């Protein structure tokens, strides 16, 4: 069963960028976007690179290894060689804390 778990203080997030958060062995990428916060698995599902080292613009994260790209709002691939939807998580903010549903 899923539960909301504290992730990181909102103030600790990089503004309009991606922030890596280690959650007990699970590494997440949290994105601050013009339409709110989103989160995904940090590792690219194409070749395992760390998306948090990639380039982030608006709603799109570009992988640092082969430049595959994903829309962080729903995880869909938007640039080759990424072809599979990435794993995303529900995110919310409560009392200044970013929470993820896991
Ligand atoms: Fe990310 Fe290849 S590892 S596009």
Element of type H or E holding 77: strand 77-79
What tokens were used for 48? 């395992």
CA distance 34 to 25: 29
| Region 24-34 average pLDDT | 95
The full set of domain ranges for the chain reads 4-101
What is the pTM (predicted TM-score) of this model? 0.96
What tokens were used for 69? 């790209």
The atom of ligand 1 lying closest to the CA of 54 is 1
| Region 31-37 average pLDDT | 97
The verdict on the CB of residue 50 being under 6 Å from ligand 1 is no
The atom of ligand 1 lying closest to the CA of 48 is 3
The overall average pLDDT reported for the chain is: 97
CA distance 39 to 73: 8
Q: Which residue has the higher pLDDT, 72 or 1?
A: 72
Q: Which of 24-28, 54-58, 76-80, 95-99 has the lowest mean pLDDT?
A: 24-28
Instruction: Supply the CATH classification number for the domain 4-101.
Output: 2.102.10.10
């Amino acid at each position: 069963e899923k539960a909301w778990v504290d992730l990181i203080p909102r103030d600790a997030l990089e503004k309009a960028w991606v922030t890596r958060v280690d959650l007990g062995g699970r590494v997440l990428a949290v994105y601050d976007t013009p339409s709110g916060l989103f989160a995904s698995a940090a590792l690219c599902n194409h070749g395992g690179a760390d998306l948090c080292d990639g380039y982030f613009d608006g709603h799109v994260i570009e992988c640092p290894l082969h430049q595959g790209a994903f829309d962080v709002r729903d995880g869909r691939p938007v640039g080759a060689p990424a072809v599979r939807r990435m794993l995303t998580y529900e995110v919310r903010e409560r009392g200044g804390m970013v929470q993820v549903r896991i």
